[in-house]
Amino acid sequence: MPALFYHLTRSTEEALIRMLIERSLAQGWRVMLRGTDDAALRRMDTRLWTEGEGSFLPHGMEGGPQDCDQPVLIGKGSAVNAAHGVILTGGAVADADEAKGLERLWVLFDGADEAAVQGARALWRQLTGAGVDAEYWSEDSGKWVRTAEKKAAAAT
């Protein structure tokens, strides 16, 4: 249940989100895409219907009658779709209890936005301080590479 922090410097956030969702669905996982900006979430909704190789990715926007049944739920709220993983974008957050109950928590942040970098650092400290394993991923070399890792202390 590690939290994976993705420092975006080359890839677009949309491309990374699509990749994470595709891989998750291939494993049979449900995903919650949580953001803070309604317009950005609606743009991602449109992209998941219309862009990418192959067909659309099955999903729904939060607030519909089938939220609990969505393989991918997009919104600002809780992962009511029994998500195995939650993708955080636009400064959205999760607490340690939620993170510990997931297979994955992905935190995406723009490396060119100092406020986003500081927010990701604060979330890293909060989660690792509460016993959540965390990994930091960077794409400076042109491909995603894990460049830092913090394991939670073993309980005694």
Q: How many CB atoms lie within 10 A of CB 74?
A: 25
Domain count, the chain: 1
- Quick one: CA torsion of 92, 97, 100, 105, rounded to 10 degrees? 0
How does pLDDT run across 34-57, given as a tens digit for each residue? 999 999 999 988 888 776 565 678
90 in Cβ contact with 35 (< 8 Å): yes
pTM for the predicted model, two decimal places: 0.92
Has residue 156 been placed in a domain? no
Helix (H, G, I), strand (E, B) or coil at 96: helix
Helix (H, G, I), strand (E, B) or coil at 140: coil
In this prediction, residue 46 carries a pLDDT of 85
- Give the span between the Cα atoms of 32 and 150, in whole angstroms: 24
- Give the span between the Cα atoms of 72 and 47, in whole angstroms: 13
Has residue 7 been placed in a domain? yes
Has residue 155 been placed in a domain? no
Has residue 30 been placed in a domain? yes
Per-10-residue mean pLDDT for the chain, 156 residues long? Answer: 91 91 95 96 85 73 93 95 97 95 96 95 96 92 84 58
What is the CATH number for 9? 3.40.50.10110
- Give the span between the Cα atoms of 58 and 45, in whole angstroms: 10
Domain hosting residue 58, numbered range = 3-150
Q: Which amino acid is at 155?
A: A
